[in-house]
A and B are shown apart, each in its own frame.
Chain A
Amino acid sequence: METGKTEKGAPQQTLAELRTGQRCVLDRLDLPEDMARRLMELGFLPGNEIVLGRRAPGGGPRVYRVDGSEVALRRDTAARMYVRRDPESDLIVLS
């Protein structure tokens, strides 16, 4: 069973913890099989880069740019998607 920690022991971040414009690489999906498969078909494959797009007004779902398209997910889904981040690449992507 995965512990939710990286090899270095630091707690792993989830997609829900990042902000608009930040980039990350998807590590793993902690979601039911059906949902995970559907997300993978939409491009949320481990190893793929994700850029955080806009959040719906009033704190609704957020748009994620992945694999050449944009997909909106609710926060509770994003909170179960673990990501790796390279602090160097943390540039704000202008709309």
Chain B
Amino acid sequence: MSSCHGDPPRAGLLPNPNILPPQPRGERPIIVAIVGPPNSGKSTLFNRLTGLRQKVANFPGVTVEHRMGKAKLKGHQEVFLVDLPGVYSLTPRAEDEQVTHDVLKGERADFPKPDAVILILDVTNLGRNLVLAAPVLSLGLPTLILLNMADDLASRGGKVDIASLASELKSPVALISAAKGTGIESIQQFLLGTAARLNAPPTRVELPVLQSVPECRKWAANLGKRASYRPPAPPIWTRRLDAIFLHPVAGPLIFAAILVGVFQSIFTWAKPIMDHLQEAVQFSGVWMKHVLPDSALSSLLIDGIWQGVGSVLVFLPQILLLFLFIGILEDSGYLARAALIADRTMSKFGLQGKSFIPLLSAYACAVPAVMATRVIENKRDRIATILIAPLMTCSARLPIYILLIAAFIPNVKLAGNFLSLQTATMLGLYVLGFVAAVLTARALKSSILKSTNTSFVLEMPPYRWPTLQSLSLRLVDRAKVFLRRAGTIILLVTVLLWVTAHLPLQGGKMASLDHSYAAWLGKAIEPVLKPLGFNWKIGIGLISSLIVREVIVSTLGTIYGIQGDEHSPGLQAALHQDLSTAGAIALLIFFAFAMQCFSTLAVVKRETGGWRWPMFQFSYMLVLAYSGSWVAFHIAQHFLR
């Protein structure tokens, strides 16, 4: 169990994972590639070996991603590990197979040929997994074969003789459990010996014709037989759970209950933490005002930067909670069942079940969602999913939603203690985003992205307990991305806004908001916004949130902070000076539809290979946002009068 405790592999950070300079052997670090089929536990192993410090990077020119990390060995030796995309074979057909193939053959100019390979296979299905050993061994590189999920194999009554498998394959073979960390020491041994093995002549193994799937499969089956492989009994718990989760009646009900439960708990659990954070930000702001001398600089520091960045930071708990739930659903294997249940419904909108996974992630953030569309093989389905993902209510919309709803929607009970008008409005916005997304998908799939047949092939992994390590790694990863955003782009926009809101200088004093550059800009676009019920101050907010939508709240904070008197009425109350309830509803609709996120546009550009789709997406969503809020404003005005 705790065999790895003695000398845990420590990790370092590779300075620039993408550009390892081509150096002669002996001078450059040793590179070991981790290869394996999808769902074989490749990433779990990689995380265990490299720890939290690793880098994700794209190969230039393709959308395939790889991760690099450093594993420290005994005696201060270091080995770079590269986690290649999961593949069933090395036949270069799909893009990820091509990349894996090219890297392993040393045919990529931008990446040095690995010195050794760690091949990780799921031992609970050795017959099918061993097929990949044939093309990998044919490379002639020193190879360590890891049979993962040994704990599963043992508990379900399977067995395999690794000594005879090793002698058949003329390579070291080890049984491990990447999730539990057993057997990991064999990797240390292998990696330590890699340098010595580099100059040894490659051993010859008899291999099948690599092009023929049936031949390879027969070879693998024979190997398994000679290694007296006994496959494990079927996963009883998976069958039992599927009987519930895929039950004709209970299945969809549980599916709906899980979705509702996730969103419900995000709001109720995160709220106390967020309230405390909010207080802390305000408290420290007041404290700093006392400590720092009253000057322009302290105003920039406190009203500009601290309040601005702080108002965004408050949402970290909520975002992490959403990612935690998605992580649990994915790691446990339920997400594949969810995709199966969703397939029929999604097919009505021209999409497929696999679109469900990225669309669910889009509720947290569209950036990882766009990357998650890679599971969809059909290109047109994939682009359609990418185009609609930003319409799902991402966590960056929450700040403005919460602010406006708290300020303008009365807290009336609708159904006892279960539903208030505020909660219903929030739910309504989620539904609105979803409806807009599926209708857009439908329109796209019956016009420019029409495709005749969409295939749906989805492997159902057995259910597993999510591991704490994998979940915490996801959360740390997400928190880093969020904090980096808050510390760079959001900080920059906040500072820019503060500066434009205080300049030009008038008689040596800072301008009041009415006479600032920001006001001039806001007033310039006011005519366009008037039909939506927004004035120039909201206009400033919209301009500042064009790149990062969550900045709107801190912008409004800055605007009213400037005007605020001794007894600052608070942002909610201040908003009532400039926004009618109809205008607030229109603003909510605008944020529901508009593409105010440069990060998403950038990742869409990368994933679709050009500016064509992101530009289309931006314009489409802007038109939708403008017309949507125009309609909402006029309807609301009519009814609220």
Binding site for B on A (CB under 8 A): 34-35, 37-43, 45-46, 53-61, 63, 65, 67-74, 76-77, 95
Contacts and interface: CB of A to CB of B under 8 A. Distances in A.
9 contacts: A37-B213, A42-B88, A42-B457, A45-B213, A61-B458, A63-B246, A68-B124, A71-B460, A77-B456
B131 interface: yes
B247 interface: yes
Contact of B249 (A40, A57, A73): A57
B256 to A, nearest CB: 11
Contact of A74 (B248, B249, B341, B343): B343
Q: List 8 A-B pairs, minimum CB-CB distance, nearest first.
A: A60-B344, A70-B460, A41-B88, A68-B125, A40-B213, A57-B251, A72-B458, A56-B340
B455 interface: yes
Given A77-B455, A77-B456, A60 B88 contact: no
Nearest to B250: A57
Interface stretch (B67-75, B169-177, B235-243, B428-436): B235-243
Given A57-B247, A61-B456, A72 B240 contact: no
B246 A54 contact: yes
Interface residues of B, number: 38
A58 B215 CA distance: 39
B246 A69 contact: no
A60 B343 contact: yes
B353 interface: yes
Residue among A34, A37, A41, A55 with most chain B CB within 10 A: A41
B213 to A, nearest CB: 4
B557 interface: no
Dominant secondary structure at the A interface: mixed
Given A69-B459, A70-B460, A72-B460, A61 B343 contact: yes
A38 B214 contact: no
Contacts of A67: 125, 127-128
Contacts of A37: 91, 93, 213
B242 A95 contact: yes
Given A41-B131, A57-B251, A68-B124, A95 B457 contact: no
A81 to B, nearest CB: 12
Nearest to A60: B344
Nearest to B337: A56
A34 B93 contact: yes
A59 to B, nearest CB: 6
B127 A68 contact: yes
Given A41-B131, A42-B88, A73-B457, A63 B243 contact: no
Contacts of A77: 455-457
B453 interface: yes
Residue among B88, B127, B231, B458 with most chain A CB within 10 A: B458
B217 interface: yes
A31 B252 CA distance: 31
Nearest to A74: B456
B343 to A, nearest CB: 5
Interface in B208-225: 213-214, 217
Contact of A73 (B127, B217, B456): B456
B219 to A, nearest CB: 13
B246 A57 contact: yes
B89 interface: yes
Given A61-B353, A69-B125, A56 B246 contact: yes
Given A57-B251, A59-B344, A71-B459, 5 more contacts: A35-B455, A57-B246, A63-B242, A68-B127, A95-B242
Contacts of A43: 128
Contacts of B231: 68
A57 B247 CA distance: 6
A16 to B, nearest CB: 14
Contacts of B251: 56-57
B180 to A, nearest CB: 21
Contact of A69 (B128, B217, B455, B457): B128
Interface in B418-472: 453, 455-460
Contacts of A57: 246-249, 251-252, 341
A58 B252 contact: yes
B455 A40 contact: no
Contacts of B247: 57
Nearest to A53: B242
Interface in B245-267: 246-249, 251-252
A55 B337 CA distance: 11
A59 B347 CA distance: 12
Contacts of B243: 54, 95
A67 B459 CA distance: 12
Contacts of B88: 38, 41-42
B89 A41 contact: yes
A78 to B, nearest CB: 11
Interface string B108-149: 000000000000000011011001000000000000000000
A17 to B, nearest CB: 19
Contacts of B345: 58
A94 B387 CA distance: 43
A93 B92 CA distance: 38
B217 to A, nearest CB: 6
A58 B243 CA distance: 15
B340 A63 contact: yes
B457 A63 contact: no
Nearest to A47: B214
B352 to A, nearest CB: 8
